[in-house]
Structure 1
Amino acid sequence: MNSQSKRLIKVFFMYTFSAALSIAILIFLMQLWKANLSVPLDYNADGLFSTIMVKGLIENGWYFNNKYLGAPFGLEMYDFPMADNFHFFIMKLISLFIPDYASVLNLYFLLTFPLTTVISLFVMRKLNFSNTVSLIGSLLYSFMPYHFLRGEAHLFLSAYYLIPLMILLIVNIMSNDRDNYGAKKKLYSLFICLLLSSSGVYYAFFICFLFIIGGLVSSLKFRALYHIKISLILVACIGFGVLINISPSLYNNYATGKNTEVAIRDTSHTEILGLKISQLVLPIDNHRINLLERLKKKYTSTAPLVNENSFASLGLISSIGFLILIITSLRQWKIKEKSELLINLSNLNLSLVLLCTVGGFGTLFALIVSPSIRGLNRVSIIIAFLSILAICIIIDYTRKYLHKSVFNVLLIVLLLIALFDQTSKNYIPNYQALENSFSTDKDFVGKIESAISAETPAKVFQLPYIFFPEASPLNKMGGYDHFRMYLHSNKISWSFGAMQGRFSDVWQKEAVQKPVKDFLEQLSLADFQGIYLDRNGYADNGKQMEEDLHSYLGAPSVISSDNREVYFDLSNFTQSYKNSMSNTEFIKKKEIIKSPTLIKWNGCYGVETQGERKWNWCSNKVELELNNLSLHNKELTLKMTVLSGFDVPSQLKITSTDGSEKLIFNAQGSDYSKKIIVPAGQRYVINISSDSKKIDANGDPRNASGMYFRLENVSIE
């Protein structure tokens, strides 16, 4: 066996061993021998969102459309752009061999640990760290608190294994070694950047910023434009990749108009969710040492703006590395062989802190460019890798002063201290509780499916109505709890999951606002077979709503074993309602309900109420779109009252295919009425613009786009 073969075997063994060790540590820390991997490791809140995305990916080909959610018209995800197609692609590949959605989700999440270890090890070896130091450093990075705390709820943030490769590219750009820019390495760099562009917009944004900083600093240092040119090319590559990822959403916005009710972001969010240095260096929540646990609780209970940024804890070892980088920024340390690397890392670290800290340059970016990148605390996982590299530089430097065996023992002790400090018993899911809850829901949905005889996907309406996505908890019910039913069904289309502001969501909101009898009639005409009710969603535990439904539908046909959910069968009510009229009349009513004139406002915010008054605040440019889904022309009348926030008169310009009109209004309001004919199968668009002054609403997320006037008691009949 020649030396080349021996070297390859040694390398293969090193990476295999690192992956195996990572898996072994993961099994121990999470006690995975207790887990049932056919049950999601997170069955609440955002964990449910991740789970339905994986199930939808498997059942519908990709994640954009899901016919089993958002009934009666289905779920379309175009209004919630995601640049995560690389992650979806990997899970799609896994599903070809393991078709169970929960197993795919769990397996991918668990695989992110050895993937992070192996890739980090590769990068550290490329940076000329010794094998043992590289192994310890890569394990430290794999088991950051961030990894567990993001978990399956923020699955794509947990999958941060590409970050080390990006840092390697940036460090290479910051060096003056032209060998780093050969043709092969350029192609490799472009490929890695394209992968990153398909792995989430946050990491893409942070890395693009570091490319610009690294290229700029190096060009100034070496007085050469080459560094910044390479950086800008890679930034352009990432930007192009992100655009390709979100292009379906961009096209949907162009074709159907922008949905102004979804993913509303405001400059203030970057302050609320900004990075806090204190949270980087403070211990994790529920630390194993009581003194440190009390210290963190004291901070959490007294400090403002404590939210997901508490996930930023670096742990003791990485915090020391972070402080080394800060000190290096102030006074450059001279460490043989790796001084340049340490200085470059310190520059990158300081740049990220200045960008992402509360009130930093990230806030200015949100103010001037876009507030879409709001969770700036998520940069902590990049800072963590820079900090670990700093620690590895110091450790590698001390290696020559210690006997090899002593050095290796100290490294093992360091790893054990880090794992003890960075992890908590709270990172172990309550596997028994998860399985019990999962089984209860599965049994309940199974009984519903047994009671439904429909061959095609049956429709079930879910109460209470909750908008999607990003709804807050409602009473004792989580914003995504309705998704639990979908996870256990194969032949039911559930109402929850209609994209807020789109047709199916508008249809549902209009339905639930009707008197109970009219509501049930609308469901019957739309071919809904039943109603699911989650008692946790009501302040009175659903008592009043159940009584109302009981008066028309009788007792619920299925009740969950934990008495939380009930199911009402609509079939008898539908048959009785159908018998109350001629078949021709029933079919005509079905066509009206199933092919309605769907109304969509672009440029107006969600409805607000006070007593019988209802209104929507709007930006200075509004588009009203009327879609006639029926086979007949429809004559409609638009009525509304237009108000500004000031006594000074303003002008409203209303433009459509029928011509243009003007309306003068102020804070007292002016009434407007217009008759409209919408052709069969077509849409009718009315554009509304105003010269009224903007309402000053600091702290309101709507302030970013602006609130200029409001439309009150709008009716289109």
Structure 2
Amino acid sequence: MGDSTPLVPHSTFLKGDGASDAPSALHGNSAEIRDTASDSRTPPEATTPSLEVKASAAAVPPAQTRWPVRLAWYVAVTVICFLLPLVGYRMDVNSFHAPLLYDEDALLILPMVKSTIETGTHWHTDRLGAPGVQEMYDFPVIDHLHFAIIWLIGRVTPDPVFVFNLYYLLGYPLAGLAAMAVLRHFGLSFFAAATGGVLYAVQPYHFYRGECHYFLSAYFFVPVTCMVILWVAGGRLPGFPLRADGRRRFCLWDRDTLAAVVIGILTAASGAYYAFFAAGLMLGAGLYGWAALKTWRAMASAVLMIGVIFVAGVANHAPQFMYQAKNGKHTAPTERYSEEAEHYGLKLTQLLMPIDDHRLRVLSEIKSSYNSYDRPVQAITERYGLGFLGACGLMILLVRLVLPMRRTSPYAELTAVTAFAILIGTVGGFGAIFNHVVTPQVRCYNRIAIYIAFFALFSILYALDAGIVRASAWVECWSSRRVAGIATMAAWLALTVCGVLDQTPVTWGDEIEAKLISDQQLRFRTDEMFFHQIEDALNPDGTTPGAMVFQLPYVRWPESPPVRNLASYEHARGYVHTNTLRWSYGCMKGRETDEWCRHVSILPPEQLLEHVVKAGFDGLMLDKRGYPPAKADQMEREIVKALGHATATPTVTHPHKDQLFFDLRPYRNWLRGAYGSGWEAACYNELHRVRVLWLNGFSSFKDSGYEWQHRWCRPKGLAVFVNPTNETKTFTAQFFIRTMTKNPAVLSIRGGDLWTEDLTIDPDTPMLTRTFTVPPGRHNVNFSFAVPESYTPHDGRWLVFYFSGLRLE
């Protein structure tokens, strides 16, 4: 993109709060943009604006701006950004003690918040996943920066729902403060930076993500990460500071480098997606800096920062790696397909178009007519419009990208990193290639929109800042400084107000929004009464923990599709509303406890109840929404009939009549008497069965509990035979192992003494009979399939062979 000219303030008074006396915060401590070690030519001098302007209220030198004034600006933005969501979510009539969203993924995150406050960690929750415990190591959520803040807030107020709401709402002022501070750092006036902070805080991305995508909504660290990306693109290179003699030397102990390293570490702790995008944009910034500054050190600095983010990311994943090293790598909980990068890819139309439900009817109709699911790669997650000002800023950058214009700073750097962001995130872009060739784990590339939003706002606000400063100087020439200051304030205030109205839907803050949230909170209160009744029935003194409740129907965790009318994560409500009870929902799919739950859940009610009681459960909750109406009524009748052996079966019924609780303790007492002296042995055997866990590389598309009938595998797979007893167990099984490839191929099975052989399989391989002798403990069996050349994959899953009928009885 040619040479880059250092960032020149709009006037000699426009420097950021933390800026040096250099002409550019992007370029560090010198106007030099080429490394003198590799290019001895004299660097271009920083140019000054042709229009000399006087200091105005919007352009006071940092040295002359007293700290109370600076503090007042930041406090004002904080208050505005906090009041806006309070008004938008109608917190005057809604409560902080009930979630704003009591549905969808909010019920995935709320239990994590509760566990973090109560136990100090979200990695495992003792009161979910009974009769085991919920362990999240196969489904890592590494947003440790957010969990740390949540834990700290929880030291002040222990109510997890209040903390859940409060931290979400705090995301608005935190985003506004971060954006304002970074814009000031790059030399924008207080007015421009404050407007940028407010508009960045109320990006449509923010409230459309909401409490459903809780940690994605907490994007307040993104502007700080963008600052380092722009440093690298502009020549302020962490790890290679510019010395007094004009040369760069590798150094890890200067201020910029240490700050950048800390920022890289916190970026990795603020979410996997934002860290991944930061690394990708840092790579782009390094490439641009290498070309523009004519020094390889720009690329080396970018690699250094990518390394910091990568190492910090690995450290955040350390609990997962340690757990899977001991218990086997498990891919099913985070199974992704490379095709999803196209479905959840970035689209320029969504960035530039108005938001849904825009306040201007004509714009709302334009967007509504565009939101057709007949349109290719149209997804509900595409609500990430930039607003009018952001769209204008993006257009400025796109025009400067394609037209032969002088590459002046900061537009040169902003254009470069924005172009890289679009190339990474757009449908069919580099992200889709990365997903297909490297790993499909990063699938929602449209989430890079919040990075683009910051660059776009920076672009338009930089232009407006220059224009308004010059207009203010012109007004001052014809009137007075006071009038110029009032005009400047009015212009920025109008831009801020219009921008907020443009970026928020017409329902924001009105009675419709209040009613939507009120309905969610009413349902929360209704459930609260129901589950408190269950807890009172099982634990009347409220102090003795441990009573377990089995939940029907079975819903796998995490990321289950809806089970009839029972949405994913609905079963988590029991844990949210109780303080002592343990719940069967939440065991990691594919692990031991989940295998037991899936097997039990498909049994007839009479057998199911016997297994559940022997496993130690004291209660059963039946959610009839998970069955067709006739089936739900049948399940209720059969459960009542099976419990008829007991002398009493007290029941708690939800006010909506669709959820029932059965106290199993009288039935357990009757069953214990029926078993006599064999009761303890029966209870032990119930939870100490040998199981096969199909982990790395395996997938099944059968209904829950019937996966053993047909299970696919990629070219490499891992199965773990688990014997939790102290005795060696022997099983004989008959099953098929086949492939759909035209030519036979060899499947290598390596499991030590338990199972080691080489099989030649084809579509007609006959039934196999094998005897497995399973000693106590965990035993890995690795599968490696020599894929024949005749095989052509048709999607990103690479499923090449399958098991049918293998289970241990």
Give the TM-score taking structure 1 as reference length.
0.94
Which amino acid is 2:465 matched to? D
Which amino acid is 2:590 matched to? G
Counterpart residue number, 1:446: 532
Cα 1:426/1:600, change in 2 over 3 Å:
farther
1:330-479 counterparts in 2 under 5 A? 330-331=402-403, 333=405, 339-399=408-468, 400-402=470-472, 403=475, 404=484, 405-427=486-508, 428=513, 430-453=516-539, 455-479=544-568
Helix, strand or coil at the partner of 2:804: strand
Counterpart residue number, 2:785: 690
Which amino acid is 2:377 matched to? L
Please point out which of 741, 747, 763 is paired with 1:652: 747
| 8 A Cα contact 1:279 1:309, kept in partner | no
Rounded Cα–Cα distance in structure 2 between residues aligned with 1:330 and 1:277: 15
| 1:101 to 2:194 alignment | no
1:81-480 counterparts in 2 under 5 A? 81-176=140-235, 181=241, 183-301=254-372, 302-331=374-403, 333=405, 339-399=408-468, 400-402=470-472, 403=475, 404=484, 405-427=486-508, 428=513, 430-453=516-539, 455-480=544-569
Deviating more after overlay: 565-574 vs 21-30: 21-30
Rounded Cα–Cα distance in structure 1 between residues aligned with 2:539 and 2:416: 66
Helix, strand or coil at the partner of 1:567: strand
| 1:15 to 2:74 alignment | yes
Shift of the alpha carbon at 1:237? Answer: 0.5
Cα 1:573/1:662, change in 2 over 3 Å:
same
| 8 A Cα contact 2:715 2:800, kept in partner | yes
Which amino acid is 1:711 matched to? F
| 1:669 to 2:765 alignment | yes
Shift of the alpha carbon at 1:295? Answer: 1.7
Shift of the alpha carbon at 1:334? Answer: 5.7
- Aligned residue pairs, count: 706
| 1:499 to 2:588 alignment | yes
| Structure richer in helix, relative to its length | 1
Note the residue ranges of structure 2 that are not aligned, 5 or more in a row.
1-61, 243-253, 476-483
Shift of the alpha carbon at 1:123? Answer: 0.9
Counterpart residue number, 2:694: 601
Shift of the alpha carbon at 1:59? Answer: 2.3
Helix, strand or coil at the partner of 2:772: strand
Shift of the alpha carbon at 1:509? Answer: 0.7
Deviating more after overlay: 561-570 vs 633-642: 633-642
Deviating more after overlay: 175-184 vs 415-424: 175-184
| 8 A Cα contact 2:692 2:807, kept in partner | no
Helix, strand or coil at the partner of 2:719: strand
Shift of the alpha carbon at 1:607? Answer: 4.9
Helix, strand or coil at the partner of 1:311: coil
Which amino acid is 1:350 matched to? A
Rounded Cα–Cα distance in structure 1 between residues aligned with 2:295 and 2:747: 56
Cα 1:181/1:539, change in 2 over 3 Å:
farther
Please point out which of 92, 109, 114 is paired with 1:33: 92
Helix, strand or coil at the partner of 1:207: helix
Cα displacement string for residues 173-214 of structure 1 (whole angstroms, at most 9, x for unaligned residues): 222467994711211111111110101111111111221211
Which amino acid is 2:520 matched to? L
Helix, strand or coil at the partner of 1:62: coil
Rounded Cα–Cα distance in structure 2 between residues aligned with 1:456 and 1:36: 29
Shift of the alpha carbon at 1:170? Answer: 2.0
Helix, strand or coil at the partner of 2:693: strand
Rounded Cα–Cα distance in structure 2 between residues aligned with 1:25 and 1:65: 35
Give the TM-score taking structure 2 as reference length.
0.84
Deviating more after overlay: 138-147 vs 509-518: 509-518
Deviating more after overlay: 280-289 vs 85-94: 280-289
| 8 A Cα contact 1:315 1:421, kept in partner | yes
Rounded Cα–Cα distance in structure 2 between residues aligned with 1:38 and 1:178: 47
Shift of the alpha carbon at 1:24? Answer: 2.4
Helix, strand or coil at the partner of 1:110: helix
| 8 A Cα contact 2:742 2:791, kept in partner | no
Please point out which of 125, 132, 147 is paired with 1:66: 125
Please point out which of 94, 100, 105 is paired with 1:46: 105
Cα 1:115/1:598, change in 2 over 3 Å:
same
| 8 A Cα contact 1:607 1:614, kept in partner | no
Counterpart residue number, 2:719: 624
Cα displacement string for residues 124-145 of structure 1 (whole angstroms, at most 9, x for unaligned residues): 1111111111111111111101
Cα displacement string for residues 222-257 of structure 1 (whole angstroms, at most 9, x for unaligned residues): 211222222111111111111000111122222211
Rounded Cα–Cα distance in structure 1 between residues aligned with 2:530 and 2:699: 37
Cα displacement string for residues 388-430 of structure 1 (whole angstroms, at most 9, x for unaligned residues): 0111111112121243322321222221221111112445453
Rounded Cα–Cα distance in structure 1 between residues aligned with 2:65 and 2:411: 33
Rounded Cα–Cα distance in structure 2 between residues aligned with 1:178 and 1:667: 58
Helix, strand or coil at the partner of 2:255: helix
Rounded Cα–Cα distance in structure 2 between residues aligned with 1:387 and 1:304: 26
Counterpart residue number, 1:546: 636
Which amino acid is 2:684 matched to? E
Deviating more after overlay: 240-249 vs 574-583: 574-583
Cα displacement string for residues 580-603 of structure 1 (whole angstroms, at most 9, x for unaligned residues): 1222x1111111112222321123
Structure with bigger gyration radius: 2
Cα displacement string for residues 638-669 of structure 1 (whole angstroms, at most 9, x for unaligned residues): 33111221454333333333263343432223
Rounded Cα–Cα distance in structure 2 between residues aligned with 1:691 and 1:381: 44
Rounded Cα–Cα distance in structure 2 between residues aligned with 1:178 and 1:242: 22
